[in-house]
Chains A and B, each alone.
Chain A
Amino acid sequence: MWDLDRWQEIGHSLRSYPLRTTLTACGVAWGIFLLVVLLGVGKGLEQGLTGLFKNSADNSVWLEGQTTSATYDGLPPGRPIRFSAEDVERLASVPGIVAITPEVTLGRQPSIRYGNVVRTFGVNGVGPSYTDIGRLVIRQGRFLNPLDITNVRRVAVLGARVSEVLFGRDVNPVGEIIEISGVPFRVIGRSVHTGHEPQQRTIYIPVTTYHEALDSNPRIPAIGFMTASGYGWDNLQVPVLRYLAREHLFDPSDVGAVAVWDGNAQYRQVQLLLLGVRTFIIVVGLGTLAAGCIGVSNIMLAAVRERTREIGIRKAIGATPAAIVVMILQEAFVITTASGAVGLGAGLSLIYFIREHEIETEYFRNPHVDLPISLGALGVLIVAGLVAGYLPARQAVQIKTIEALRHE
């Protein structure tokens, strides 16, 4: 049944109806192409959204001092709240908090110098726990350790882009000396380049060194901590806010005094958003696939009808009904498989192109295509083509030869 002869006969037959062959092929190729691109883009969207919140562990909470909005104990509203190093220490002993870090940032980005290269980047003063809370992954060297903090060492961990700009791609910066606002720092580590974009453009130094060398004001604008399992902002907010309110003299119910960023709530929201994106893609994908199936079916139906007379002639000169059904099925198979492969190739190429040229935004990055799903979709279309070919073919061969011959 799979002899060369039959394939030649099919090739011949497909060439005989160039318009129909082209239309079917375009329909199938386009359908698969759309589906592959849709899946790829959906994945990119998913990765982008996940990456957007990559700078915080799902069980992390960030607090930022704002200004009071209510009077408290005779004090007027509008007073700025600034945390202190003591707050960090005290909060660390609150049950349910497993890791904590201060975070200080210069209001204006300082100039960073290495050799003749001078650039500006953000500089953050943090503690050793920042890697866990902020999900910073180190690729070379190490992150800050407790001794760096207590000994006020002038050491720096570079975000991947910072390292790339100052030292060049694929150069290990560990051990080099850079100057931050004229103060020399030894590079002790470098982050991976796949992380959160702003983190890649930041230099991390010990919070103590930060206050000693760059900014003598001991204020701490933000505190981040991780919660133990079973704890979350829900059950930590009372002790944490009560402590801070007492220490900084504000009403614990004053929502303006401290801004709270709850990683877990964010995580749940992102999960919900991702679920929405996935559902959308599945619905649109199935729609595309259904449209493709209907398209193939229609064309096969029209094709068989158009060929009723040809089928009559073939039967009159000795073709069995089975031979004709097989011929039509093989044509449907060849055309859907070949054009589906073309669509698949085109879709994969486009997604690959997007990846290679790193076309990405905050919400979209690193798209990729699930090959088994794409092949499955192609399989569905092929089966649809076969079913769509089989039913009318079966009908066509049951028409009496003489009637088929009279068909115009």
Chain B
Amino acid sequence: MIDLQQVAKSYSTGSVTLPVLRGIDLQIKPGEFVALMGPSGSGKSTLLNVLGLIDTFDTGDYRLCGISMKDLSETEAARHRVTRIGFIFQSFNLLPAKTAADNVALPLYYQGVAQKKRRTQAMELLEQLGVVHRAHHRPRELSGGQQQRVAIARALITDPPMILADEPTGNLDSTAAHDVMQLLDKVHHAGRTIVLVTHDESIAAHAQRIVRLHDGRVAGVA
């Protein structure tokens, strides 16, 4: 599914160059559930963003489903994102002006799916995730747990083979966090690849494999 060869990335501000990823080698098989862990500044979030094609890398190669993701144009990146990747963020990143159902349906809009079909699919997913009763509410009227369920529904609606989650429980209380992790487990059991960034060991325990990063390098795999 994912094959990283010596992926490196650095931020340069003026004359100072700050390396964030110093040559990452990582393979993730289809259907695998991997947790990325590490102290802050270790590069785990940047790595996830690179995997999700919302950030770029400088050198090395990243092959997703066998296709090289090096030097993609924004348009190509958008096409891969909409078909292969579902993103879940710590801060949910729902559009505040849209209802839960409209937020969930939005990726299908960019796939060119007809409105009626978008609506049905969005409602089905919200039903499955237990928030269908909140479908016509705006994000600010939802609890954190409900918002993250809506965000998960949005990530799943295009039926992507891979889900990337950046601290998905970071803004949630423990009950809501537990619910969200159960949902991710279900998503995993349904056959999807999941890569999750967390600093919480109990969350990481849901993964089959934990990749620890330190200072931009893979420090250990367990």
Q: Enumerate chain A interface residues (CB-CB to B < 8 A).
A: 4-5, 8-9, 12-13, 15-17, 310, 312-323, 397-398, 400-402, 405
Contacts and interface: CB of A to CB of B under 8 A. Distances in A.
Contact of B82 (A317, A322, A400): A317
Contacts of B77: 401
Contacts of B96: 16
Contacts of B109: 5, 9
B78 A318 contact: yes
B111 A318 contact: yes
Contact of A397 (B74, B81, B83, B110): B74
24 contacts: A8-B115, A12-B97, A16-B97, A312-B93, A313-B93, A313-B95, A315-B74, A315-B78, A316-B52, A317-B106, A317-B154, A318-B82, A318-B110, A318-B111, A319-B78, A319-B82, A320-B79, A321-B75, A321-B78, A322-B75, A398-B74, A400-B56, A402-B55, A405-B54
Nearest to B102: A12
Given A314-B106, A315-B78, A320-B78, A405 B93 contact: yes
Contact of A316 (B79, B81, B98): B81
B107 A317 contact: yes
Shortest 10 CB-CB contacts between residues of A and residues of B: A318-B82, A16-B97, A401-B54, A320-B78, A402-B55, A318-B110, A317-B107, A320-B75, A321-B74, A402-B54
Contacts of B115: 4-5, 8
A13 B97 contact: yes
B49 interface: yes
B158 interface: yes
B62 interface: no
B79 to A, nearest CB: 7
B62 to A, nearest CB: 15
Nearest to A401: B54
A317 B97 contact: no
B33 interface: no
B129 to A, nearest CB: 17
B20 to A, nearest CB: 12
B81 A318 contact: yes
A124 B55 CA distance: 92
A317 B154 CA distance: 8
With most chain B CB atoms within 10 A of its CB, the pick from A9, A17, A316, A320 is A316
Interface in B154-209: 154, 158
Nearest to A6: B109
